[in-house]
A and B are shown apart, each in its own frame.
With several copies, the nearest count.
Chain A
Amino acid sequence: MSLEYTASEMMSVTAARALENGTTCFVGIGLPSEAANLARLTHAPDVVLIYESGTLQTKPDILPLSIGDGELCESALTTVAVPEMFRYWLQGGKVNVGFLGTAQIDRFANLNTTLIGDYKAPKVRLPGGGGAPEIATNAGEVFITLKHSKRAFVKDVDFVTTLGFGRDGKGRDNVPNIGKGPTRVITDLCVMKPDPETKELMVVSLHPGVTREEVMDATGWEVRFADQLESTPEPSEKELEILRELKARTERAHTGE
């Protein structure tokens, strides 16, 4: 194969493939939304997408810019109030996969979307938790997707907005009624999964052409690689075509009024 594709496209296609057909997925805005909709438009036509704005089983033709774009409501099976969304659908245990992005992630897959620096005197104030803290604990499992960089992949997050496996990897042990937590992290370089014992994220699959060194350089801790390190399958022509059309449609729509 000698298809041309970008690292971002590789990330989106890989993230999309993680979603099985028929899965009920609570979708974060941005990269997760792109991946989830790509899944729906390719191998998983019956994936059920839920956005925290209350839109149940939505099938947007273009990617929403915000979590509450009109497109999400118009193409939804129905739209419920936000309290109902969090109570009945998320907390009620109807969500198989929570699909999240983040600003910072640490080796135990804890997520920080609150701030960089100290809480009382932040260097950078980030938007905050939003739906993530409860998506991460109430969904059956969690997928995370973001670009790989040393700023994003840190040994310890400045602030645990959202639980991965806690600062010691044991944050979910003996907690009743909690999901499995992050089961995979999809970046533009690789796929990571938590070590079954320690819960530390390790690289299980490298994207085509990516080296171990590149991943190590972009990761803020001494990242481990699985013994059986795999090579992530390349995007297919069809996946790339559908992704590009989706993004082009979206771009056209969002630059209009």
Chain B
Amino acid sequence: MAEFLSLHDAVARYVQDGATVAMEGFTHLIPFAAGHEVIRQKKRDLTLIRMTPDIIYDQLIGAGCAKKVIFSWGGNPGVGSLHRLRDAVEKGWPHKIEILEHSHAAMACAFEAGAAGLPLAVFRGYIGSELPSVNDQIKFIECPFTGERLAAVPSVRPDVSIVHAQRADRQGNVLVEGIVGVQKEAVLAAKHSIVTVEEIVDDLKAHPNACVIPSWAISAVAVAEKGALPSYTHGYYGRSNRFYKEWDVIARDRDTFTQWLDDNVYRAEENA
């Protein structure tokens, strides 16, 4: 059964220095509040996994939390580069980070395989791509029935996955709705999981085949109202496309970024 914890306590308990962490959300439902809590608690040497590391991972990287990033598309969606990611990769600020990159299909299958308890994902991929030459975790197997050569990647099995969702009921069962991404897979694949939600309700009011993650498959549920902003929560609030555009300016410069972090993340703790 999921335990109801404050976001502070959930992050303190489950995100250890050196851990492999997946904060998921495919544009939608990105767990910004939880990411900021990880920054505030100055977690270090994290291996950050995420299909689309957007500005939350840019912030974590710039804040010095990351040792390694495993990803398949690292940009500010519709805007451009992740300047903090680039600065770390290209110039080693605040320190050098390792990257391991995949395609979306590979990572989506790797999350699926992780949720399915398998050590590997098999798919038809990476044909003609040079990514296998820079990622030694991409291998190929031969189908024993047809002889076809298929790609294989290790499944994703994070120490802890963190996702945001619409709501939980009082037992800690969680409803995810809209663009569900790989969030359920991330939770099921992980040793521990934290789900932040907009609210706790008496009844999820879910339809028969809704994406509901049962309480007993989650470690901790924490309320984080507007916890996905500047990303969005379907049915609650929209995406701040404006902030995503502004981020391009904020993140371009180390000082502006550091100032922003001070004002909006570190100092937010004092008000919490």
Contact = CB atoms under 8 A, between A and B. Distances in A.
- A and B: real partners? yes
Interface of A: 22, 24, 29-30, 46, 48, 52-57, 64-70, 72-74, 76-83, 85-88, 90-94, 110, 114, 119, 122-134, 137-138, 159-163, 166, 171-172, 175-178, 253-257
B116 A91 contact: yes
Q: Is the interface of B mostly helix, strand, loop or mixed?
A: loop
Interface stretch (B31-39, B78-86, B192-200): B78-86
Interface in B209-223: 209-212, 214, 216-217
B5 interface: no
Interface centre among A54, A124, A254 (most CB of B within 10 A): A54
Nearest to B30: A68
Given A81-B182, A127-B74, A133-B126, A256 B51 contact: no
B75 interface: yes
B3 to A, nearest CB: 13
19 contacts: A46-B1, A55-B179, A66-B244, A78-B206, A78-B209, A81-B211, A82-B111, A82-B182, A83-B112, A91-B105, A91-B124, A91-B125, A125-B86, A133-B126, A133-B131, A137-B124, A163-B128, A178-B127, A253-B241
Contacts of A52: 104
A53 B27 contact: yes
Contacts of A85: 108
Contact of A67 (B1, B77, B82, B189): B77
Contacts of B26: 53-54, 67-68, 82
Interface stretch (B160-168, B231-239, B252-260): B231-239
A257 B116 contact: no
Contact of B111 (A74, A83, A124, A254): A83
Given A29-B77, A66-B77, A86-B109, A134 B124 contact: yes
Given A70-B178, A91-B125, A128-B73, 6 more contacts: A70-B239, A76-B208, A86-B109, A177-B148, A257-B238, A257-B240
Contacts of B134: 119
Contacts of B81: 125-127
Contacts of A257: 238, 240, 242
Interface centre among A64, A127, A166 (most CB of B within 10 A): A127
Contact of A254 (B90, B131, B242): B242
Nearest to B85: A125
B186 to A, nearest CB: 10
Contacts of B242: 254-257
A66 B74 contact: no
B1 A22 contact: yes
A115 B148 CA distance: 30
Q: Size range of the interface on B?
A: 35 or more
Which 9 A-B pairs give the minimum distances between C-beta atoms?
A: A68-B27, A163-B128, A127-B75, A66-B77, A130-B73, A65-B78, A134-B105, A87-B116, A78-B212
A9 to B, nearest CB: 19
A160 B128 contact: yes
B127 A163 contact: yes
Contacts of B79: 65
Contact of A87 (B74, B108, B214, B241): B108
Contacts of A130: 52, 72-73, 103-104
B181 A54 contact: yes
B35 to A, nearest CB: 17
Contact of B178 (A56, A79, A123, A137): A79
B153 to A, nearest CB: 12
B129 interface: yes
B226 interface: no
A129 B101 contact: yes
Contact of A70 (B73, B217, B234): B234
B7 interface: no
Nearest to B73: A130
Contacts of A83: 108-109, 111-112, 182, 185
Contacts of B118: 91
B156 to A, nearest CB: 11
